[in-house]
Structure 1
Amino acid sequence: MASFLCANCPGASPEPIAQLARVQELYRQDPQVKLVTYITAGLTPEKAAEQYGAIAGKWWFLAGDTTAVQRVAEDYHLSLVDNSTIQTSNLFLIDRDQHVRGIYDGTKHKEIDRLLTEIGVLLYIYEHDDAGR
């Protein structure tokens, strides 16, 4: 899972991060499910992890300079706000081969339910794919 956090952006919704906390809790015991949140403005990774209750080794908060932020934005086909900040409520399901498997609106409950279903499907595929190897 990947997401972006702009803590001090006008109009930024706290809902996507709250939904990630829900995903973290539901998949707390599954080492295959990991969360990464790129911080684009407003908090340090340490403060964000503390504020949002990140479990070490499960949910990482990452920050970088403007160039790094721009590269990440390009990788996710996102546009920048003020040429340096990413502001999106989208959550990205990334598979173990680092492909985007789905994009979900983190402010809509039905989208999060769909995300949770698709995480379960992906884990099922991995389990049965690995069994055949």
Structure 2
Amino acid sequence: MVEAEISYRVPYADTDQMGVVYYANFFVYFERVRNELLRNMGLPYTTLEADGLMLPVASANCDYKIPAKYDDMLLIKASISEMKGCRMLVKNEVFNQNGDLLVVGGTTHCFVSAETRRPVKIPENVMTLFNDYKESK
């Protein structure tokens, strides 16, 4: 499985008036770890863009279990659960420093031509990188 994780300490700016991480910020966290996931796979966004591809979010979901608070040290994980057709599904989990699962969510992305802005089949070189990385772990 293609996976990545990052650590992130919650700054005050990420919290709301109740002192917990504002719900929408988890999608920003998902983006941060997804960048590392693709980079680990050998496919940073700069490479995708140079190849004339874009990877917009087609759908996003998030199930909040336990609030994250200011100064919590978070472990944010991502894994690619499927790459098929033009779609890539990314699963996310967020844990606190005690190992408690705070959030489960994910995003679905569609490979799109930068020129036409239309969906395209996942390029062979991307599938090769995905399969090679998956097999090496």
TM range (shorter): under 0.3
Task: Please state which structure has a larger fraction of its residues in strand.
Answer: 2
Task: Please state which structure has a larger fraction of its residues in helix.
Answer: 1
Q: TM-score, normalised by structure 2?
A: 0.26
* Larger-Rg structure: 2
Q: TM-score, normalised by structure 1?
A: 0.26
